Structure 1
């Protein structure tokens, strides 16, 4: 079974309610990989952000 994790708190996405996480993600970059639950390396710059998982690569908003 493939579990998807919340990219803000790292808990299983199908578990508890993530309303607070979704609201925070409108203003913040992701912190956890949704595939493996690893904490990502996040860099925030004036033009956006990048978040990198050592296993699954980089996400970016720019």
Structure 2
């Protein structure tokens, strides 16, 4: 079981890294009104990512 898990992680390493880079591009840590759209865009990106992972109910 552990071997399969490690192989899966190794085989998908680039995908996970690319997703992390996409996530980090969002200027999403802010209380400023001018950044509200960025924060919401990031939240929706996370929502879609979580849904694509198999979760059925995700709310922003």
- The reply to whether TM is greater than 0.5 is no
More helix, by proportion: 2
Normalized against structure 2, the TM-score is what? Answer: 0.31
Q: TM-score, normalised by structure 1?
A: 0.30
The structure, 1 or 2, with the larger RCO (C-alpha pairs under 8 Å, 6+ apart) is: 1
